[in-house]
Every structure is written in structure tokens, then in C-alpha cells.
Amino acid sequence: MTHLDAVPLWVALPAALLLVLGSGLTLLGAFGLARLQSFYDRLHAPTLGTSWGTAGIVLASVLLFSWLEGRPVLQELLIGVFVMLTTPVTLMLLGRASLHRDRAEGSAAVPPAGNARPADRGTAGADGARGAATPPAWP
Amino acid sequence: MSGTILALALGFAQVALGLAGGLAVLTILRGPRAQDRVLGLDTFYVTGMLLFLVTGLRSGSLFFFEAACVIGVTGFVATVALAKFLLRGEVIE
């Protein structure tokens, strides 16, 4: 712990707060992932970890490394920007895949595709015989 | 003083992220349907990436940043490919 003892208190306190905030939010998100009831509820829980969980740990890392190296170390922000850009993409795709699977099975837990976009109707109408006939709902 | 505060915070962060990873693995093993397992895998990737960042802070080297970057990119590609597979039954058509 030699390199951490040299850090002044005004850097250490915000960094420690950000670390505890980020890791605590990530733990809460994973707890929600394990505890929530339906899949569409569980889809929201890990975003705690990818929004402020990642942001807290990345900001703490930027703060500490900038002081330790004596220059602005901003490359950790790259991870934060990347995670914040990719998480909505992956979770929207996963949610649409799950909705597609539930509708294909005729599950009663999801609303039917009656008021969806016109492009979605092709896959929802043909329940059992989804084959080469209908174009993909998702491009 | 500041070393103690930072050591406590880093220890807490490592334990919390380890627990979060354990819960994600539990979801992968238990999840009733395939999409739950994919979501658990995505959470596990993010948790592992954050654990690498915290370990890099604790050891004071910038090399863990690159490992965390690679884990983030592979996690994104893995989740997109698995979601695409769930959606269509194929990854590349």
C-alpha cells in the first residue's frame, strides 16, 4: 500500500466515495438480477452497474491515476463512454429477442403485436409456421 | 490516513464486485430461460471489467486498464451475438 499512502486526503476521500458508490450500485444491480420476478423486470437491474456503477469506478480511477502519474490520465473515460454507448444497444436487442420468443410461443405475459409497427406483424401472425415466408421483424 | 481510507474503499469494492459476479453466475446457472442466462453473462462481463479496474487501482499499474478494455469489447460482441442467435437462430445469415 505504499503508493496509496502518498495520496492527499482531498483526493482520497472523493475517490473512496466514488468507489463505494460504484461498487455498491453494481452489487445492487446484480442482486436485482437475481431477485426480480419477470425477465422484463430483470432486464433493468444490471443497468445500475453499467450507468453509475461504471461511472463511479471510472471516475475514481481517473482521479487516483491522475494524481499518481502527475498528469491527466483520461483513457479510463474511454471505457465509461464505451459501456454507456453499448449497453442500450445490447439490452434493446436482448429485450426484442425475448419478446420475439415469447410471442412465438404465444405467451400470455406479453401483449400481442397488434399495435406494433407494420413490419412486426409478419412474425406475430404466423405462430407455428414461422419459416421462409415472412421477412425478419428486426433488420 | 488516506491510505487506510483508500484501502478500505478498495477492499469493499472488491468484495462487492465479487459478490455481484457471484450473483451473475448464479443467474447464468439458474435462469429459467436462455435470455436470462445471456443477461447474466452480460452482467458478469461488466462486473469482471469493473473488478479489473479496481484491481488496477489497488496495484497502481495502468496495465489493467487494457485488460478491462478488452473485456468490455468482448462482452459487447458476445452479448450482441447471443441476442442475435436468440432472435433468429443464426448469428450471421
Each residue of A4-33: pLDDT tens digit? 888 888 888 999 999 999 999 999 999 999
Nearest Cα to Cα of residue A41 among A32, A28, A50: A32
B56 contacts A97? CB cut-off 8 A: no
Tell me how far apart the alpha carbons of residues A138 and A99 are, in angstroms, rounded to a whole number.
12
* Nearest to A15, CA basis, from B3, B63, B50: B3
Which residues of chain B are within 8 Å of residue A3 when distances are taken between CB atoms? 60
What radius of gyration, in Å, describes the C-alpha atoms of chain A? 22
Residue of B nearest to A59 (CA): B53
Task: For residue A56, give the amino acid letter.
Answer: G
The Cβ-side half-sphere exposure at A137, using a 13 Å CA radius, reads 24
Quick check: A28 and A73 in contact, CB under 8 A? no
Highest CATH level, class, for B2-88? mainly alpha
> Quick check: A90 and B42 in contact, CB under 8 A?
yes
Compute the distance between CA of residue A75 and CA of residue A40 in angstroms, rounded to an integer: 34
Are residues A11 and B49, on separate chains, in Cβ contact within 8 Å? no
**How far, CA to CA in Å, does B47 sit from each of A61, A121, A127, B86?**
16, 38, 38, 23
**Does the beta-carbon distance from A39 to B33 stay under 8 Å?**
yes
- ipTM reported for the complex, 2 dp: 0.90
What is the predicted pLDDT for the residue at A70?
Answer: 87
Number of residues that this document lists for chain B: 93
Q: Which residue of B has its CA nearest to A58?
A: B53
Instruction: Output the pLDDT for position A68.
Output: 87
How many contacts (CB atoms, under 8 Å) link A and B? Answer: 182
Domain ranges of chain B: 2-88
B76 and A26 in contact by Cβ < 8 A? no
Confidence at residue A57, expressed as pLDDT on a 0 to 100 scale: 94
- Is pLDDT at B1 greater than 90 in this prediction? no
The confidence score (pLDDT) of residue A137 equals 55
User: B26-82, pLDDT tens digit by residue?
Assistant: 999 987 888 899 999 999 999 999 999 999 998 888 889 999 999 999 999 999 999
Q: For position A17, what pLDDT does the model report?
A: 94
pLDDT attached to residue A3: 79
Domain ranges of chain A: 7-107
Q: Please tell me the predicted confidence (pLDDT) of residue A115.
A: 59
Is a pLDDT exceeding 80 seen at residue B91? no
How far apart CA A42 and CA B40 sit, in angstroms, is 10
> What contacts B17, CB < 8 A, 6 or more positions away?
A23, A26, A27, B47, B50, B51, B54
Cβ–Cβ < 8 Å for B18, B10: no
Using CA coordinates, name the residue in chain A closest to B65: A76
Confidence check: pLDDT of A128 > 50: no
